[in-house]
Amino acid sequence: MRAAFLGLGIMGRPMAASLVKAGHEVTVWNRSAGKEVPGARAAATPREAAEGVEVVWICVSDTAAVEQVLFGENGVEGALKPGMIVVDSSTISPLETREFARRVGERGAEYVDAPVTGSKAGAETGQLIFMAGGSEETIEKLKPLWTAMGKSLFRMGDVSMGQASKLGMNLMIALTYEGFAEGLALTGKLGVKPDALMPLIQASMVRSGVIDYKAPFVLRRDFSPNFPLRLMHKDIQLMLDAAREQRVKLPGLETVAEIYDIAAEEGHDDLDYAATLTLLEKWAGVEVKGTAA
Ligand code: NAP
């Protein structure tokens, strides 16, 4: 297929590379210069990238960035034609997603929200999981593209249900990780070695995909970003906004949000979100370190 890929960050660049590898004709665009994808044509603006393609796939930071790329100066809007499909794999507001879909629809184009889970490793290995909102027919047309980037796609309902599901998924990830981090801090302070704790976790019902993914990084003290703390912080704000709108009380998330506020104040924004552990360690006066460190 002829596709434009907009946003070449931690996730977008390997996703676009997977499309090229699968033989699609790809044009890429990134806000700042210097990010490229071998085998893809580079465009100067989102509009230029979107000219003449069948699908425009977006993966940028947040709601404001998606709005800018779609409807800002030299945005995708100017190139939209009936039958084109816009897909957004950023994690953004479900409510704004409906508005973006409405505006894209005014030009005769279709809209699918398709946020992802699987993080940097999933993007680099083409093993992402998509959770999509949009019509069944439109999502079916996208199959050659999402199968190049991911291992599965779940249709969650109409437009915005992908984003709504993603907020729930990341809520569970943030709280699961925080539980792991607090468990490490407490057992560490009590004198349990993390290398002894890990096999116990793996053998028990505590085991989870989140811990499987994060533990090796944490135990070797590698807090370089797979999923930057600033982005999980942004997602937590989206969850709390949605909870306020829908009158849902989330006391666990409200507490975790405070930890992220402090982590941001202390300058940890560009580390991985696993770095919230370092605050717990500082408060407890303990450092959790495996022999791998
Ligand atoms: P990232 O590495 O920080 O990349 C962000 C991208 O957005 C960059 O290409 C950046 O351009 C672009 N951008 C930011 N503001 C923009 C604006 N106003 N206009 C145009 N482009 C803008 O982030 P990422 O990890 O790839 O994440 C991208 C999205 O996927 C986020 O919504 C995130 O929540 C979601 N996500 C991430 C993960 C993960 O594990 N990393 C997993 C699932 C979902 P520049 O290069 O110019 O800064």
Taking only the tens place, the pLDDT of each residue in 29-67 is 999 999 999 999 999 999 999 999 999 999 999 999 999
Atom 42 (ligand 1) nearest CA: 119
Provide the pLDDT for residue 293.
66
58 CA → ligand 1 middle, Å:
10
Stretches where the chain sits below pLDDT 70 are 292-293
| H or E stretch covering 198 | helix 194-203
Name the DSSP class of 237: H
Inter-helix orientation angle 161-190/209-219, to 10°: 50
Domains of the chain: 2-158 (3.40.50.720), 165-284 (1.10.1040.10)
Question: What confidence score (pLDDT) does residue 78 get?
Answer: 97
Nearest ligand 1 atom, CA 234: 34
Mean pLDDT value across the chain: 97
CA distance 181 to 194: 11
What pLDDT was estimated at residue 95? Answer: 97
Ranges of beta strands (E only) in the chain are 2-6, 25-29, 41-42, 55-58, 85-88, 110-113, 116-117, 128-133, 150-157
Q: Which residue's CA lies nearest to atom 8 of ligand 1?
A: 9
Q: What is the pLDDT of residue 289?
A: 86
Residue recorded with tokens 């794999």: 89
Q: Which residues line ligand 1 (CB under 6 A)?
A: 7-12, 30-32, 35, 59-61, 65, 68-69, 90-91, 116-117, 119-120, 226-228, 231, 235
